[in-house]
């Protein structure tokens, strides 16, 4: 219709193969996975619109229907994580800012880490994962982000100026704030570590992703956490900033500082989301195995 109305010269027939695959996967999914999104703006789902779409794109790559369970992170702080995450195949902690609900995100990261549930942290989700690791693996109970606690005993997440200055002081603008100038915005390149999960998913060693954040992984803890099993899977091109972390001993635990949801499309998806959904599918199969075995045993007993 567009070609006809605009009198465009388009003699070649369009190749709709990719779109046909997308439509087939959407209309007839092979299975379903349930993803918990632990955020602080879940009552306004449009705040996570691109995130929800990217997860569905990841499902299309595997012909899977993606059931999104929106969980207010503050509820995790006051509730039982076992109850909150019952029936969930994977956990995603998205971006955000501010103190409200952050401890719930930390609790979500801890739950996924300790129970082998696939975990995907994006921006603030990386911060939550690092704080959990610092407190409960590295033995630093006072660990926090300086966005939350300016005088944290162990500021594992901080402004770059807070861990590059000798005295740890924060550089401020003339108006007394530290906003604006410290923000990392837009597309930036990142080098992926050989042998990492991220590199196996992207299938290349250098990527470019979009950023929007001010606080970073504090390099003063880099060697210590690496010795305890955290892999710095992606770093900035000058190797000064941590862009991705992984836990190699975990079935699927990855967190990134950037926002991969901004570059996902229905046809191509995004390698991190496709990998995350595949991990959720595999976890669902493992989680379902005991129930299937029990049902088979009951059926066998009834037949006998």
Q: Which residues are designated catalytic?
A: 123, 259, 261
Tokens coding 93: 């902690």
Nearest to 36 by CA among 110, 103, 106, 93: 93
Q: Are the beta carbons of 180 and 221 closer than 8 angstroms?
A: no
Cα–Cα distance for residue pair 106/131, rounded to 1 Å: 7
Cα–Cα distance for residue pair 297/29, rounded to 1 Å: 29
Across the strands, what pairs with 105? none
């Amino acid at each position: 219709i567009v070609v006809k109305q605009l009198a465009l010269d388009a003699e070649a027939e369009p190749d709709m193969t990719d779109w046909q695959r997308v439509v087939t996967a959407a209309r007839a999914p092979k299975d379903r996975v349930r993803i918990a999104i632990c955020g602080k703006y879940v009552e306004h789902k449009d705040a996570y619109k691109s995130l929800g779409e990217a997860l569905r794109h990841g499902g299309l790559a595997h012909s899977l229907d993606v059931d999104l369970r929106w969980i207010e992170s503050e509820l995790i702080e006051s509730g039982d994580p076992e109850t909150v995450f019952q029936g969930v195949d994977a956990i995603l902690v998205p971006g955000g800012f501010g103190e409200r609900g952050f401890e719930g995100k930390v609790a979500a990261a801890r739950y996924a880490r300790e129970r082998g549930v696939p975990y995907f942290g994006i921006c603030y989700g990386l911060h939550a994962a690092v704080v959990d690791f610092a407190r409960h693996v590295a033995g630093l109970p006072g660990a926090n982000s300086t966005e939350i606690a300016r005088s944290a005993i162990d500021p594992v997440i901080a402004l770059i100026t807070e861990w590059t200055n000798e005295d740890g002081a924060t550089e401020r603008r003339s108006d007394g704030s530290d906003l604006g100038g410290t923000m990392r915005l837009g597309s930036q390149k990142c080098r992926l570590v050989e042998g990492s999960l991220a590199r196996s998913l992207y299938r290349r060693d250098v990527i470019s992703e979009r950023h929007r954040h001010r606080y970073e992984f504090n390099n003063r803890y880099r060697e210590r956490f690496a010795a305890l099993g955290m892999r710095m899977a992606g770093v900035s091109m000058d190797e000064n900033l941590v862009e991705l972390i992984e836990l190699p001993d975990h079935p699927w635990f990855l967190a990134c500082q950037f926002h991969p949801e901004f570059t996902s499309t229905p046809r191509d998806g995004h390698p991190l989301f496709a990998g995350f959904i595949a991990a959720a599918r595999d976890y669902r199969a493992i989680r379902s195995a005991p129930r299937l075995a029990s049902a088979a045993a009951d059926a066998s007993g009834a037949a006998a």
